[in-house]
Amino acid sequence: MPTILRCAVLSLVVLTLPLLAQQESKAPASPQQPLVIRAGTLIDGKSDKPLHDQVIIVSGNHIESISAAAGAKVPAGATVIDLSQATVLPGLIDSHTHIFLQGEDPAEGGYVVNILNAPLALRAVRAGIAARRALEQGFTTLRDVETEGAGYGDVGIKEAIEKGYIPGPRLFISTRAISSTGGYMLEGYAPELTMPKGAQIADGPVEARKAAREQLDHGADWIKVYMTHRSWVGKNGELVSQPTFTVEELRAIVDETHGWGKKVACHAYGGIGLRRALDGGCDSIEHGLDLDDAAIAQMLKQGTWYVPTLAAYYHDWGPADTPGGQRDRLRASVHEPSFKKALKAGVKIVFGTDMGGISWSEPIAQEFSRMVEFGMPPMDTIQSATSRAATMLDMDGKIGMVAPGAFADIIAVNGDPLHDIKTLGSVRFVMKDGQVFRQDQK
Ligand SMILES: [Zn+2]
């Protein structure tokens, strides 16, 4: 069965009920009944220790109050959701996704197929399914870092979710992304051909600033910039990454974006491109495979966020006896010490997966396991996907937290994620904006 069809069938099973619920809840203008959630254990996203036997009162789309179950005042007529045997958490945030990518199999043509063969409507439908899959897994917010050749498609998907046409997480979108000539795919074709690119290409500070203006004008919440592109194994066995923009070009983008009150996410592996990314004032470093001590010191000084996307680099390695395969192995082997150094130094690490680069049929929560494996305490990994991500997104206190006044984005899992982080991969309850999207019996 083609993947697209399989995804759709799987999703329908889970979603029949919630979709109906969503339609019903849109209709009445009468005051909404309060909802009460009984939480056996509550990890609120901010506190360092969990609470036990709590009652959360949800009113409309936000959280009204949280109190100990003993002595809690449950409003008359409230609907009670019993999660007394579960661990309740804030809706999770994945700060590095691509809903317009589907983990394209290299054997089936890989990245190229999406751009040269897929009709835009097909890509949009698949993006909608990807968004729904994220929500099913408890990710109530995504920062989606570019559409990979699908133009402003993310603006449409975001609107479809916000208007309730399709279920999905809150989206922070970055539209087309920006890179320089020679700095993005498609590439490797006859030079006589003008090939479409997976990002907007700009050269020089004037074009770079204009690209940022266009994207901001059309609805980008973040600007995504590629500061490195190709990578290979260097003469001395080191990872070399090709830099793209100069500091001058990047500064034009950052200056423009900051003027709009928005932020810049920079894809950068290491070396010259990473140094320019930091000198040019990027707000977040994406991947950061090869962080040296100077980069870490500069990130600390500038308050730069680090979205390492560890899991993605353990996928789809080429054969070990090819240059590409050796490069793939080297990337993973430098990533681990970079992450560990950043963690030890206190760099602000935020959860991001690069889903889309990874197939959406795979569990998003696998990134938590990698982070824990590389020494991050489980509670820290949870905060990297909740309150810390919310701060990066300028949504402090509104998302990533179970707290009075926050949006009612609430999930639950069986078991204790602080004891076994893998439990975050089996979400049984998902509420977004006060609406129940998923409620498994057990
Ligand atoms: Zn990415």
pLDDT tens-place values along the chain, 442 residues long: 333 333 333 343 344 334 434 444 443 344 568 899 999 999 999 999 999 999 999 999 999 999 999 988 888 889 999 999 999 999 999 999 999 999 988 888 899 999 999 999 999 999 999 999 999 999 999 999 999 999 999 999 999 999 999 999 999 999 999 999 999 999 999 999 999 999 999 999 999 999 999 999 999 999 999 999 999 999 999 999 999 999 999 999 999 999 999 999 999 999 999 999 999 999 999 999 999 999 999 999 999 999 999 999 987 898 999 999 999 999 999 999 999 999 999 999 999 999 999 999 999 999 999 999 999 999 999 999 999 999 999 999 999 999 999 999 999 999 999 999 999 999 999 999 999 999 998 7
Burial bucket for residue 193 (CB in 10 Å: 0-12, 13-18, 19+): exposed
Tell me the CA–centroid distance for residue 145 and ligand 1, in Å: 6
AA identity, residue 9: V
From the CA of 61, how far away is ligand 1's center (Å)? 31
Query: For residues 22 and 432, is the Cβ–Cβ distance under 8 A?
Result: no
Q: How far apart are CA 123 and CA 3, in angstroms?
A: 13
Please, are residues 193 and 161 in contact by the beta-carbon 8 Å criterion? no
CA 104, distance to chain mean position in Å, is 18
pLDDT of residue 249: 98
Distance 161 CA to ligand 1 centre (A): 22
Q: Which residues contact 64 (CB under 8 A, 6 or more apart)?
A: 34, 57, 58, 404
Contact 86, 412 (CB under 8 A): yes
Amino acid 30: pLDDT: 43
Distance 98 CA to ligand 1 centre (A): 6
Beta-strand relationship, 170-173 and 139-144: parallel
Cα–chain-centroid distance for residue 229?
A: 20
Task: Judge whether 135 and 142 are in contact, CB under 8 Å.
Answer: no
Kindly give the distance from the C-alpha atom of residue 430 to the centroid of ligand 1, in angstroms, as a whole number.
25
> How many angstroms separate the alpha carbon of residue 44 from the centre of ligand 1?
28
Give the distance (Å) from ligand 1 centre to CA of residue 397: 27
Q: Which residue has the tokens 């000539």?
A: 181
* Separation of CA 18 from chain center: 23
Q: What is the pLDDT of residue 38?
A: 97
CA of 192 to the centre of ligand 1 (A): 29
> Cα(147) to centroid of ligand 1, in Å?
10
96 CA distance to ligand 1 middle (Å):
6
**What is the end-to-end Cα distance of the chain in Å, rounded?**
29
